[in-house]
């Protein structure tokens, strides 16, 4: 096909781009009837022959708070990249509930469909108020322009108030996000994710660079989210992990090395050897 024909094909009136197609499977309730909300099974990812993930199996229950730890290069980021659709594995399967095959969904559909990701660095809109940041986060189904030019519904306003209370920034609602402390920016960004009502929240090193008090607040925030959301926390700060952990998964060389309570994994000789003994 020559270039002109290719262009014609692209702009055909009946042309429907993949990202505009409805995703009926995401409109259905996520089927968690067997317990887990995330199934990662036999997943391997290679980069130039190096296996960043090696036959990884991980199951996250609906509403649980899971901490994932492991030495540098263990595959933690790659695992989150696979779940969120950023990296496609060479082998394996990843399901959201019983029915939704995440490997068949593009990244933006997964993000809108109920799996939120908080990166290590906060990325709030610094020139907007805390409230406006949360309001913009409701924009997923409408354009940003629509959101900025239309009044909020009562339900949306209530939800923003609820999230402001949850993240502890109700008193800062009119403050510019740029004037917040590092910890407050992190909570605001978690709040922005919550505006989308995610079923699963992936949180990467949430307490890096925080003060002791901010760390405590973050622990209380993340534990309060469990139950209503499934929360996966990747973190190197062992004191913090101990303060929030129920079940801990230790990754090593792209696979699960150990899994259990904090006490169980901390006393596991294999974990001490590859990670905690460092």
Q: Report the interface residues with ligand ATP, using CB under 6 A.
A: 47, 52, 70, 72-78
Are 30 and 114 a contacting pair, CB within 8 Å? yes
Task: Closer to ligand ATP by CB, 81 or 214: give it.
Answer: 81
Closest CB to ligand ATP among 77 and 156? Answer: 77
- C-beta closer to ligand ATP: residue 19 or 119: 119
| Minimum distance from residue 204 beta carbon to ligand ATP (Å) | 8
Q: How far is the CB of 69 from ligand ATP (least distance, A)?
A: 9
We find the least distance from the C-beta atom of residue 18 to ligand ATP, in angstroms, to be 24
Q: Provide the minimum distance between the beta carbon of 60 and ligand ATP in the complex, in angstroms, as a whole number.
A: 17
Please identify, using beta-carbon distances, which residue of 75 and 97 lies nearer to ligand ATP: 75
Beta bridge partners of 60: 38
Of residues 100 and 251, the one with the C-beta less far from ligand ATP: 251
Q: Compute the least distance from the CB of residue 48 to ligand ATP, in Å.
A: 6
User: In this structure, are residues 60 and 230 in contact, taking their beta carbons and an 8 Å threshold?
Assistant: yes
Closer residue to ligand ATP (CB): 69 or 195: 69
Nearer to ligand ATP, 135 or 205 (CB): 205
Task: Give me the least distance between CB of 47 and ligand ATP, in Å please.
Answer: 3
The CB-of-261 to ligand ATP minimum distance in angstroms stands at 21
Token pair of 95, please?
Answer: 């399901």
Rounded to the nearest 10 degrees, what angle do helices 212-225 and 182-194 cross at?
10
Beta carbon of residue 194, minimum distance to ligand ATP (angstroms, whole number) = 24
Instruction: Report the alpha-carbon distance of residue 39 to residue 24 in Å, rounded.
Output: 20
Nearer to ligand ATP, 194 or 251 (CB): 251
Q: What is the DSSP string of the chain?
A: --HHHHHHHHT-TT---GGGS--HHHHSPP--TTSEEEEEEEEEEEETTEEEEEEEEEEEETT-EEEEE--TTSSHHHHHHHHTTSS--SEEEEEETTTEEGGGS-HHHHHHTTEEEE-SS----TTSBHHHHHHHGGGGGS-HHHHHHSPPPHHHHHHHHHHHHHHT-GGGTTSBGGGS-HHHHHHHHHHHHHTT--SEEEEESTTTT--HHHHHHHHHHHHHHBTTBEEEEE---HHHHHHH-SEEEEEETTEEEEEE-HHHHHT-HHHIIIIIT-
């Amino acid at each position: 096909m020559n270039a002109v024909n290719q262009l014609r094909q692209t702009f055909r009136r009946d042309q429907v781009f993949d990202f505009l197609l409805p995703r009926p499977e995401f409109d259905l309730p996520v089927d968690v009837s067997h317990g887990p909300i995330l199934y990662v099974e036999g997943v391997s990812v290679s980069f130039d022959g190096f296996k960043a993930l090696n036959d990884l199996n991980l199951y996250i229950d609906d509403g649980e708070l899971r901490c994932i730890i492991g030495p540098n290069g263990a595959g933690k980021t790659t695992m989150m990249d696979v779940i969120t659709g950023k990296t496609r594995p060479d082998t394996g399967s990843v399901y959201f509930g019983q029915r939704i095959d995440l490997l068949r969904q593009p990244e933006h559909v997964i993000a809108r469909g109920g799996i939120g990701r908080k990166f290590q660095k906060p990325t709030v809109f610094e020139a907007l108020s805390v409230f406006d940041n949360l309001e913009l986060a409701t924009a997923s189904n409408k354009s940003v322009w629509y959101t900025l030019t239309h009044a909020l519904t009562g339900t949306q306003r209530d939800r923003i108030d609820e999230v402001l209370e949850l993240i502890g920034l109700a008193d800062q609602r009119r403050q510019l996000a740029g004037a917040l402390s590092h910890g407050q920016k992190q909570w605001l960004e978690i709040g922005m994710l919550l505006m989308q009502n995610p079923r699963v929240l992936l949180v990467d090193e949430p307490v890096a660079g925080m003060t002791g008090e901010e760390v405590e607040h973050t622990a209380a925030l993340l534990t309060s989210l469990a139950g209503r959301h499934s929360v996966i926390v990747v973190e190197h700060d062992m004191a913090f992990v101990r303060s929030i952990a129920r079940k801990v998964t230790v990754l090593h060389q792209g696979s699960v090395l150990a899994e259990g309570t904090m006490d169980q994994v901390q006393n596991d000789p294999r974990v001490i050897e590859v990670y905690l003994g460092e």
